[in-house]
Amino acid sequence: MQEAHRGAILVLSGPSGAGKSTIIQAASEEIGEYYFSISTTTRSPRVGEEEGKDYFFVTKKSFEEDIEAGNFLEYAQVHGNYYGTSLKPVREALDEGKLVIFDIDVQGHRLVRAKMDDITTSAFITPPTRQELEKRLRARSTDDENVILKRIENAKGEIRALGEYDFAIINDTVEEAVREFVIVAKAARLKQSQEEKKKFIQTWLG
Going by C-alpha positions, the residue among 123, 203, 113, 206 that lies closest to residue 162 is: 123
pLDDT digits (tens, 9 = 90+) for 185-202: 999 999 988 888 999 999
Query: Of how many residues is the chain composed?
Result: 206
Q: Of 4-8, 65-69, 145-149, which one has max mean pLDDT?
A: 65-69
Domains and CATH numbers, the chain: 8-37+98-205 (3.40.50.300)
CA distances from 165 to 10, 122, 127, 202 (A): 11, 5, 16, 31
> What is the residue-wise DSSP string for 43-57?
SPPPTT--BTTTBEE
Residue 3 has a pLDDT of 45
CB 86 within 8 A of CB 69: no
Give the number of C-alpha atoms closer than 13 A to the C-alpha of residue 96, restricted to the C-beta side: 13
pLDDT digits (tens, 9 = 90+) for 63-120: 999 999 999 988 888 888 999 989 988 999 999 999 999 998 998 899 899 989 999 9
- The Cα 57–Cα 141 span in angstroms is 27
Q: What is the pTM of this model?
A: 0.84
CB 102 within 8 A of CB 93: no
Beta bridge partners of 36: 101
pLDDT digits (tens, 9 = 90+) for 33-62: 999 999 899 999 988 888 988 899 999 999
